[in-house]
């Protein structure tokens, strides 16, 4: 009985339900969609007269630079393409649809312009279907597909870390030639409205250029693409603090080797060499590993290392001079090196007699006057003649030390200036850029 009555109720109410569903008024957007897409074929170009050209305006909005890989020369960015075109089939009278003048639709319902990342490093085509498009009653379509773009970028690291790079993103059509689909851009810059700054690279200018060209296959058909260039400058504070200043300081420390006593020479020399080695190990990780362009910084470090090694060898030479005592300095060396070169380098004049007398004075003070004076004089005489030789050799070592100091100071200054030359150039450019903006 119960089942029967339920069945009866269902039979009575069912047509009512059916009728109310059928009579539900469609929303304005539903009516509009049915109207617009009744006979719409997304493969056909959006022109009613097929002789017409579809003009597609394309802009690039850079959001973030993820990476610029120096070794693989890949520029990775996140960005949006702002694409606009007119679809002549998507025009409606907005007063008929409750003043609905625009609408958002899935992009795969529409005809979409074809463009590929021409200089892409991995994928040429991206799947942009998930991005919806906005259409307006005059047939204008606004579409902002985006993603991560990996493009090839030729990198020149000669002036690393004061280098500037130009990386481009080229968007173009493979299949449509210009008479069917004309790819253009209405701006001359990359849109940086939603750009998040990168820690390593600073954008100093951008450009957007439309190119038209022929492929060899089809000389009669023109193709167009749009090239978005980003001009990057490396932020070099990190490298100046961590690479360049320490290497200059180590070079300066090296100079102190020429101003210390023979015993300290070896200690300081070893400390300088070791610290240089540790420092080089640290730096090697920061320098781009490529052989296409050798960075000036790498050359600088190699030259400084060579200077250090040479200075160590010369220090050994000076040490050897210092400890000679068994033979006299050749007279030509005495006049040329001790007298002439010593005076050239403004070293205080060399007084042999004074030094000997003070040595004698100290020995005389220390030792009792009356005890074996005669023998002491004899011994003193022998020592005097030995000291005479070694004093000359020591003087010669000092002159060489001073000579090498000036030599290495000049070498370090020249190499440092050569390295820093591009820095001054970069600074001047930076000033120009800031005054312009
Ligand atoms: C459907 O639209 C008609 C007029 O167009 C209106 O009279 C009717 O009330 C509407 N029905 C509903 C359920 O809104
Ligand atoms: C739009 O529709 C309204 C009402 O149907 C009509 O009066 C008007 O002329 C139409 N406008 C155009 C541009 O066709
Ligand atoms: C549509 O816009 C016109 C003028 O802008 C206005 O007069 C009319 O009332 C609007 N219609 C609706 C349904 O909002
Ligand atoms: C394409 O657009 C460019 C500039 O926007 C224009 O100079 C060129 O004539 C157009 N080409 C065609 C075939 O419409």
Q: What are the pLDDT digits (tens) for 309-351?
A: 888 888 888 888 888 888 888 888 888 888 888 888 777 766 5
Peptide bond into 428 cis (omega under 30): no
How far apart (Å, rounded) are the C-alpha atoms in residues 326 and 317?
A: 17
Distance of CA 261 to the CA centre of its chain: 44
E strand or H helix that includes residue 195? none
- 253 vs 435, higher pLDDT: 253
Residue 71's nearest CA partner among 121, 18, 120 is 121
Q: Does 98 sit in the ligand 3 pocket, CB within 6 Å?
A: yes
Residue 147's nearest CA partner among 170, 128, 120, 167 is 128
Nearest ligand (C-alpha, residue 93): 2
Q: How far is the CA of 152 from the centre of ligand 4 (A)?
A: 28
Same domain, 221 and 209: yes
- For residues 267, 281, 200, 121, the Cα torsion angle rounded to the nearest 10 degrees is 160
390 in any annotated domain: yes
21 in any annotated domain: no
Q: Which atom of ligand 3 is nearest to the CA of 98?
A: 13
Same domain, 325 and 287: yes
How far apart (Å, rounded) are the C-alpha atoms in residues 307 and 250?
A: 11
Q: How far is the CA of 136 from the centre of ligand 3 (A)?
A: 17
How far apart (Å, rounded) are the C-alpha atoms in residues 286 and 193?
A: 32
Burial of 56 (0-12, 13-18, 19+ CB in 10 A): buried
- 44, pLDDT greater than 90: yes
Same domain, 200 and 268: no
State the CB neighbour count (10 A cutoff) for residue 233.
18
The H-assigned helical ranges of 285-372 are: 296-322, 331-333, 342-344, 352-366
**What's the pLDDT at 351?**
55
Residue 108's nearest CA partner among 145, 79, 149 is 145
Of 172, 201, 235, at which residue does a domain stop?
Answer: 235
CATH number of the CATH domain containing 61 = 2.70.170.10
**What's the pLDDT at 286?**
66
Same domain, 229 and 250: no
Nearest ligand (C-alpha, residue 21): 1
Same domain, 260 and 279: yes
- Supply the pTM of this predicted model: 0.75
Instruction: Look at the alpha carbons of 355, 361, 364, 369 in this order and tell me if their dihedral is positive or negative.
Output: positive
Same domain, 165 and 204: yes
Same domain, 287 and 231: no
Q: Does 290 sit in the ligand 4 pocket, CB within 6 Å?
A: no
- 314 vs 160, higher pLDDT: 314
Report whether 77 contacts 107 (CB < 8 A): no
pLDDT digits (tens, 9 = 90+) for 400-425: 888 999 999 999 899 888 877 766 66
DSSP codes joined into one string, 127-177 = --TTS-EEEETTSEEEE--EEEEEEE-----TTTTS-EEEEEEEEE-SS--
Q: How far is the CA of 391 from the centre of ligand 1 (A)?
A: 120
Residue 115's nearest CA partner among 145, 150, 148, 88 is 145
Instruction: List Cβ neighbours of 175 (8 Å cut-off, separation of 6 or more).
Output: 114
Same domain, 229 and 277: no
- 230, pLDDT greater than 90: yes
Same domain, 392 and 259: yes
Instruction: Tell me the best of 52, 54, 55, 179 to mutate to test the pocket of ligand 4, counting ligand atoms within 8 Å of each CB and taking the most.
Output: 55
Distance of CA 106 to the CA centre of its chain: 40
Q: Which atom of ligand 3 is nearest to the CA of 99?
A: 1
Instruction: List Cβ neighbours of 356 (8 Å cut-off, separation of 6 or more).
Output: 384, 387, 388
In terms of DSSP bridges, do strands 74-86 and 140-143 run parallel, antiparallel, or are they unpaired? Answer: antiparallel
**Please, which pLDDT band fits residue 357 given cuts at 50, 70 and 90?**
very low
Nearest ligand (C-alpha, residue 94): 2
Same domain, 285 and 192: no
**Please, which pLDDT band fits residue 388 given cuts at 50, 70 and 90?**
low
SS3 state at 194: coil
pLDDT over 90, % of the chain:
36
Same domain, 219 and 283: no
Instruction: Tell me the best of 92, 95, 138 to mutate to test the pocket of ligand 2, counting ligand atoms within 8 Å of each CB and taking the most.
Output: 95
Q: How far is the CA of 26 from the centre of ligand 1 (A)?
A: 9
211 in any annotated domain: yes
Q: Which residue has the tokens 């209405």?
A: 186
**Please, which pLDDT band fits residue 356 given cuts at 50, 70 and 90?**
very low
Show the domain range for 300: 239-436
Nearest ligand (C-alpha, residue 91): 2
364 in any annotated domain: yes
Q: Which residue has the tokens 């463009």?
A: 115
């Amino acid at each position: 009985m119960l089942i029967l009555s339920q069945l009866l109720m269902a039979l009575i109410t069912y047509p009512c339900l059916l009728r109310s569903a059928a009579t539900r008024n469609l929303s304005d957007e539903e009516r509009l969609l049915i109207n617009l897409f009744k006979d719409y074929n997304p493969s056909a170009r959006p022109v009613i007269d097929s002789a017409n050209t579809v003009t597609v305006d394309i802009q690039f909005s850079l959001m973030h630079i993820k990476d610029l890989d120096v070794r693989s020369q890949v520029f990775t960015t996140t960005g949006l393409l702002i694409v606009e075109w007119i679809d002549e089939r998507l025009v409606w009278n907005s007063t008929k649809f409750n003043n609905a003048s625009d609408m958002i639709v899935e992009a795969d319902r529409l005809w979409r312009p074809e463009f590929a990342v021409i200089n892409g490093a991995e994928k040429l085509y991206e799947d942009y279907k998930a991005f919806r498009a906005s259409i307006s009653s005059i047939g204008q379509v606004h579409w902002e597909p985006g993603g991560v773009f990996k493009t090839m970028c030729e990198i020149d690291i000669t002036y690393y870390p004061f280098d500037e790079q130009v990386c481009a993103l080229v968007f173009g059509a493979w299949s449509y030639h210009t008479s069917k689909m004309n790819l253009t851009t209405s701006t001359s810059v990359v849109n940086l409205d939603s750009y998040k700054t990168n820690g390593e690279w600073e954008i100093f200018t951008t450009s957007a250029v439309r190119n038209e060209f022929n492929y060899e296959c089809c000389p009669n058909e023109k193709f167009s693409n749009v090239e978005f260039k980003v001009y990057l400058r490396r932020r070099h504070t990190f490298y100046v603090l961590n690479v360049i200043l320490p290497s200059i300081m180590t070079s300066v420390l090296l100079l102190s080797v020429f101003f210390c006593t023979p015993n300290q020479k070896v200690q300081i020399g070893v400390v300088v060499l070791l610290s240089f080695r540790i420092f080089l190990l640290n730096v090697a990780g920061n320098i781009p590993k490529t052989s296409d362009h050798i960075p000036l910084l790498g050359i600088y470090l190699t030259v400084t290392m060579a200077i250090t090694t040479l200075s160590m060898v010369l220090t050994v030479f000076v040490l050897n001079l210092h400890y000679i005592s068994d033979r006299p300095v050749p007279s030509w060396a005495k006049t040329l090196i001790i007298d002439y070169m010593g005076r050239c380098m403004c070293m205080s004049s060399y007084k042999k007699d004074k030094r000997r007398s003070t040595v004698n004075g100290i020995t005389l003070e220390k030792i009792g006057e009356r005890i074996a004076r005669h023998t002491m004089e004899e011994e003193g005489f022998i020592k005097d003649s030995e000291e005479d030789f070694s004093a000359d050799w020591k003087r010669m070592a000092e002159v060489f030390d001073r000579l090498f100091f000036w030599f290495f100071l000049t070498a370090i200054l020249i190499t440092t200036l050569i390295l820093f030359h591009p820095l001054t150039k970069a600074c001047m450019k930076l000033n120009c850029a800031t005054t312009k903006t």
